[in-house]
Amino acid sequence: MSAIDDLPPLRDVIATHGLSARKSLGQNFLLDLNLTAKIARQAGDLSGSDVLEIGPGPGGLTRGLLSEGARKVLAIEKDARCLPALAEIADRYPGQLQVIEGDALDIDPLEHLTPPIRVAANLPYNVGTELLVRWLTPPTWPPFWQSLTLMFQREVAERIVAQPGSKAYGRLAVLAQWRSDARIVLSLPPEAFTPPPKVSSAVVHLTALTAPRFDADAAVLSRVVAAAFNQRRKMLRAALKGTAPDIEDRLLAAGIKPTDRAEQVPLEGFCALAREVAKG
Ligand code: SAM
């Protein structure tokens, strides 16, 4: 029996179901259920929410989310070996855990969830950034989610909360901070995971704002920011040359010096530039 429920400890679950970690699937498991419950608490009050979890693996965070009172958890897992272990959790919490086997990049979770929806995950490193960018860039706002509570490599977490002028400031910071509040809420050493990864990790909590901080079209802003930071050492007028005709005039109209570099431009500047570029 474990600390948070009457299911077996995760080490036993892994041994029983032969869940040796696979690097190709980004498998670094959390086995301490007190820690997974703590991560679940960072997601906020779960009692009235459905929770989307990507990559439940043997179910440590899933159990944390359910023991913290999530109304329902929808867990999407690519590794079929994990399904029997997850089925045991579903039996323990009847009607509260739905597991879908598949690639989170291909599955639309919204068919299975009722708002309000929170997302919580110890993300597989190989798809984590792509999923985050998708969740941050829907054409309309607010998005389907109320909050995202996500484990990343520490370096990625720092890029999400970075401020202008810092080395970590880039596309992720602009897209995350444009329409949400983002903060690092927990830091974890490699030893918190089995097997331990090479780097430290951190949990980032993002809360969706009701409206964007500054007006801009999501697709145009994404394009402008991607181009600006793709060649971050270049002056903006050179980095953005292919983005729109007369880019120097548009930069000036947005209040940005064409000789500045991307990392000097605050969020407000990028949104102003996206509006100028959108004029066609
Ligand atoms: N949540 C578990 C935990 O905290 O111990 C496992 C986290 S592990 C870092 C990432 C999990 O994501 C693995 O179980 C892996 O099989 C799964 N995964 C990898 N790629 C995936 C994908 N494209 N879609 C869904 N799950 C994926």
pLDDT in tens, 225-259: 999 999 999 999 999 999 999 999 999 999 999 99
246 Cα to the center of ligand 1, angstroms: 45
Instruction: For residue range 197-215, list pLDDT tens digits in order.
Output: 999 999 999 999 999 999 9
CA 170 – ligand 1 centroid, Å: 26
Q: Hunting for tokens 């060649």 — which residue is that? A: 231
The tens digit of pLDDT for each residue in 97-119 reads 999 999 999 999 999 999 999 99
202 CA to middle of ligand 1, Å? 16
- Give, using CA atoms, the residue closest to atom 10 of ligand 1: 124
Ligand 1 contact, 247 CB (< 6 A): no
Q: What is the pLDDT of residues 1-43, one digit of tens each?
A: 678 999 999 999 999 999 999 999 999 999 999 999 999 999 9
Burial class (CB in 10 A: 0-12, 13-18, 19+), 126: exposed
Residue 141 C-beta-side C-alpha neighbours within 13 Å: 22
CB of 170 sitting under 6 A from ligand 1: no
CA of 155 to the centre of ligand 1 (A): 19
Query: Looking at ligand 1, which residue's alpha carbon is closest to its atom 21?
Result: 78
